[in-house]
Structure 1
């Protein structure tokens, strides 16, 4: 008490207005403000059901690079600045034939259809001086690797297909090596990627719209029923894989060779059928006589079906 009285006198002399609290009361009585804060925190946590994740502290990554190294520029759409691609329309048949006549070709109808398809699509430019002398392909021989330079005038008489012969026909591109003289055909002239190949893998479909297009293997066929292409075999003996129509169906001129297969296969298995005086006496041949190819095999003028 002596100490409390001493402190009281000191505060009175100095004019202090703060209430005097004993040392015992300071140690035993906590501050009211701290008690209220703890209650509020506990109360809020129970109402919102917030889990206590104070111990799980996420440490942000430390930036080691200078800020100037980051690209803060605004992205700009540059597509508007690019020039629009020019759409070229295919030239009509009359325009292509006119260009061929102007180049000095008397019969444009007899020109290679794949070449005309390339002119129509813009793959081969005929609106230049001396278009027949322009080089459309520079490649190597498939046999001896001799360099071959192909000009337009070299493939004017090329056919629409190379057939089943390796080495092509008389009008094909010939290797300049006299010890080789291997024949090639130029395919894919209707695209922008012409190439040398064997005749067996050159087939330009003339039944497609316009001047047609290359379809590759000579055994590929064009179905006139569905308009698709399918593997018909070496003698068109297979049906269309898209619509399942047979090549010998009426009106399908693209696959007329398939009409010969049933007759040939039967005669091969039954050669004695040819010994009959009247071929119609054979029941199988009598049934096969309905085929449009029967007339051209046996010279049967009375056959009702005809091949146009």
Structure 2
């Protein structure tokens, strides 16, 4: 089946443009300014505003005891917010737990209705070349390091860590407790930035927000972009549709895109996932996103 999405206002990470796409077999065959000479059926959604589907993080995903809880959580926290890819973590206190805890998290997501990318969450003291080799071997593209003080960073043998990253430059991300006051938090983030920048370690500068669309720079560094969260030739046809503001064209593009009340449709890989608040929950269609090369576009 082939059709054309014709002249739709589109917002991608703050950039606004009119977009036309030729879609075949639920993939984007081509992207152009118009397809006037083509005779394929046309889908006119110009009264709305389109965006790529969102990628969000939830590093505190619960251990669900019942499927009803699992379904309600994914529906409310992700699907109704236009999210079709989740970044979530497994954690370890000892290296010997790595394989068991990774498999446990994978098993817990077998019924996921959206795609997911697994990352590691651990304390700073666990970082070692051996851990990095485990992450590389299992294609885990990021490690979130739990920090409480700058001294945690100074004890790490960053030179050995950097050498172990060769061939798979996974990204380091800070995870700072909300219990730390603002002044100490600012000091800790500054120390994080200085140390990792000086050591030449791939990293993000600041903690990410939970259950909100992840910024483009993070998606590029972890390697999710351009696989997800954009429109590209050869890519899947996945998008969100929002009500277009009646008064004027929005210049501050991102300001309204994450408002649940304005999101009216989510299409994931060519199938409707949410329409006017009604979700079509399909357990098990989500797949693990395996990142072959983190930071390819950075």
Please report the TM-score for the alignment, with normalisation by the length of structure 1.
Answer: 0.23
Higher helix proportion (structure 1 or 2): 1
Identify which of structures 1 and 2 has the higher relative contact order when contacts are C-alpha pairs closer than 8 Å and 6+ apart.
2
Higher strand proportion (structure 1 or 2): 2
Please report the TM-score for the alignment, with normalisation by the length of structure 2.
Answer: 0.23
